[in-house]
Amino acid sequence: MTLNRLLIQNLRNIGGVDIAPSAQVNLIFGENGSGKTSVLEAINLLALGRSFRSHKHKPLIQHHQSSFTVFGKVKNDDGSDVPIGISRTLDGEASFKANGNFVPSAADLAGYLPVQVINSETFLLLEGSPKVRRQFIDWLVFHVEHAFFPTWKAIQRCLKHRNSLLRHDRIDPFELASWDQELVSLTEKIHDFRKASFQQFFEVFNELCKEFIKIDGIKLSYYRGWDKEKSYADVLLAGFERDHRIGYTQSGSHRADLKITIDGQDAAEILSRGQQKLLVCALKIAQGYVFTRITGRKSIYLVDDLPAELDEKHRALLVKWLATMETQVFITGVEKDVLVSSWMDKPETPLKLFHVEQGRVVEVQ
């Protein structure tokens, strides 16, 4: 699966761009502020309907314009092309299209274009909140288990209703029992989905650690969101008074986390910055490997400002991983020569160079 055409209109400082990327390596260089990251941002918008830089939509739209549009053609493994697109207006209205038809949400686009991002924000996998790691967990589960997303949405609905009841002074026990019963069933399904996917993830990640990171004592553990020794039904019952007092449900799949430790201590507190960068890259690469192993498909990697995030040695390791996967990658950097040097020993790899200057993107030799 590759993106073989990318059209961008009125996104940040990019007025109009239409490029045909390489099926494997795309190196994008230019001065800071030229629009390099906006190209990656456009691909992320096409895949997920949202930016990895901002939750606000207005800054995405070019000054004096009323909307932005991103369009792409995705080549499937069977050789067929699927057009997908997104546009958003200043008033927040968004439209999503796939294969010539409007689709109801960005989640419907995500299945067409699985994307992994490696940038400065990736390091929040170690330092950020549990929500960041849950999103990491659920990327894989979403793409390999079709029933996951509707189950996840149903849980959000259950939690909303249960939390509303918890904020009442008087609670109808029969109504609460009804929501609890549904929540227990859905939560156990989500847990089973996550556990199955990440059992394979742990195996791949451990192998990567042995070959590349070589840091003793690294351990990943999946916390499901409640006491592993108790059933979720018992946890809800035992925690009712506290939940009622604070007005929301404390335990459940919405509290799941990925614990990353070294000899029992938080990895973020033990590792150097360079080691942290390599570790989070390994997490992302392992996820791509497992995705391919389960589905037979490949995810696209967006690597923003590679030279700034990794030194030469670690860049070489990341490039080796990406080359081995034979997947499509888009990598940005300021200096052309630094980007190209990482791929010099892989002349057989299809590679394209793009220069970005003041919002214009031009393919160069």
The single-letter DSSP state of residue 209 is I
Q: Are strands 351-357 and 360-364 parallel, antiparallel or unpaired?
A: antiparallel
The yes-or-no verdict on residue 210 having pLDDT over 80 is no
Residue 311 burial (CB count, 10 A): 11
The yes-or-no verdict on residue 99 having pLDDT over 90 is no
- The residues, any chain, with a CB within 8 Å of residue 273's CB and separated by 6 or more, are none
- Which pLDDT score, from 0 to 100, does residue 19 have? 95
Q: Same structural domain for residues 127 and 195?
A: yes
Q: Same structural domain for residues 219 and 135?
A: yes
Q: Which token pair is 144?
A: 């390999």
- 44 vs 265: CA distance, rounded Å: 34
Q: Same structural domain for residues 22 and 157?
A: no
- Which pLDDT score, from 0 to 100, does residue 147 have? 94
Residue 325: band (very low, low, confident or very high) from pLDDT cuts 50, 70, 90 = confident
Last residue of a domain, one of 251, 270, 296: 296
Q: What is the pLDDT of residues 10-30, one digit of tens each?
A: 999 898 999 999 999 999 999
Report yes or no: 22 and 350 within 8 Å, Cβ to Cβ. Answer: yes
Q: Same structural domain for residues 216 and 231?
A: yes
Q: Which token pair is 116?
A: 């992994």
Q: Which token pair is 58?
A: 């207005």
Q: Same structural domain for residues 209 and 286?
A: yes
- 57 vs 330: CA distance, rounded Å: 23
Range ranked top by mean pLDDT from 120-129, 193-202, 252-261: 252-261
> Closest Cα to residue 309, out of 332, 284, 288?
332
Q: Same structural domain for residues 32 and 170?
A: no
Last residue of a domain, one of 242, 264, 296: 296
How many domains, in total, are found in the chain? 2
Report yes or no: 45 and 70 within 8 Å, Cβ to Cβ. Answer: yes
Q: Same structural domain for residues 224 and 96?
A: no
Q: Same structural domain for residues 150 and 88?
A: no
Average confidence score pLDDT of the chain: 90
- Which pLDDT score, from 0 to 100, does residue 244 have? 94
Any idea what the CATH number is for the domain that residue 304 is in? 3.40.50.300
Report yes or no: 51 and 60 within 8 Å, Cβ to Cβ. Answer: yes
**Predicted TM-score of the model (pTM):** 0.92
Any idea what the CATH number is for the domain that residue 272 is in? 1.20.1050.90
Q: Same structural domain for residues 303 and 291?
A: no
Q: Same structural domain for residues 51 and 149?
A: no
Domain that holds residue 14: 1-114+297-365
Q: What is the pLDDT of residues 233-252, one digit of tens each?
A: 999 999 999 999 999 999 99
Q: Same structural domain for residues 36 and 136?
A: no
Q: Same structural domain for residues 351 and 283?
A: no
Last residue of a domain, one of 296, 322, 338: 296
- Sheet of 218-223: strand order equals 218-223, 257-262, 265-266
- 317 vs 303: CA distance, rounded Å: 14
The yes-or-no verdict on residue 337 having pLDDT over 80 is yes
